[in-house]
């Protein structure tokens, strides 16, 4: 699994790679939270979210948007995600902790997840997604 920041003029563009679709979605959460809160994330508090969409790209945008909403509305910093995908629906268990300025301050405010340039492809190693975070 890997997260690579790609050049972009105004926002944050990342390429996420993982061995499976579920791991790709979980790694995408780690990328989002990494830019927002840095690497000091842990905790055992849990949330379960469910998302459905018409296709996989919509599912990824809907999922990351829901994670962003939970993070902002509940001041919840996600450390890890366990994702189960069936067709174009998913259930995810998010674990993490309450936001702390000392531990999580100084990151980038992400306003949303963009459909622009979004792609999910199969590779020899698994799956890859290019995702644009609107900042």
pLDDT in tens, 1-39: 789 999 888 899 999 999 999 999 999 999 999 999 988
Q: Categorise residue 87: left if φ over 0, alpha if ψ from -120 to 50, beta otherwise.
A: left
Q: What is the pTM for the complete model shown?
A: 0.94
Domain boundaries, the chain: 2-134
Query: Could you report the per-residue pLDDT of 43-101, keeping only the tens digit for each?
Result: 899 999 999 999 999 999 999 999 999 999 999 999 999 999 999 999 999 999 999 88
Instruction: Tell me the C-alpha distance between 9 and 97, whole Å.
Output: 32
CA 82 to chain centre: 12
Confirm if 46 and 58 have CB atoms less than 8 A apart. no
Cα–Cα nearest to 119, from 60, 65, 50, 54: 60
CATH superfamily of 2-134: Archease domain (3.55.10.10)
């Amino acid at each position: 699994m890997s997260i690579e920041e790609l050049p972009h003029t105004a926002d944050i563009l990342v390429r996420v790679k993982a061995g499976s679709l579920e791991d790709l979605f979980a790694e995408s959460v780690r990328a989002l939270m990494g830019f927002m809160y840095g690497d000091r994330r842990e905790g055992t508090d849990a949330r379960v979210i469910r998302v459905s969409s018409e296709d996989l790209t919509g599912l990824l945008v809907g999922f990351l948007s829901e994670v962003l909403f939970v993070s902002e509305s509940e001041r919840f910093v996600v450390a890890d995600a366990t994702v189960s995908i069936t067709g174009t629906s998913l259930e995810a268990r998010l674990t993490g902790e309450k936001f702390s300025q000392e531990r999580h301050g100084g990151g980038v405010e992400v306003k949303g997840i963009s459909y622009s340039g979004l792609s999910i492809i199969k590779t020899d190693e698994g799956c890859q997604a290019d995702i644009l975070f609107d900042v």
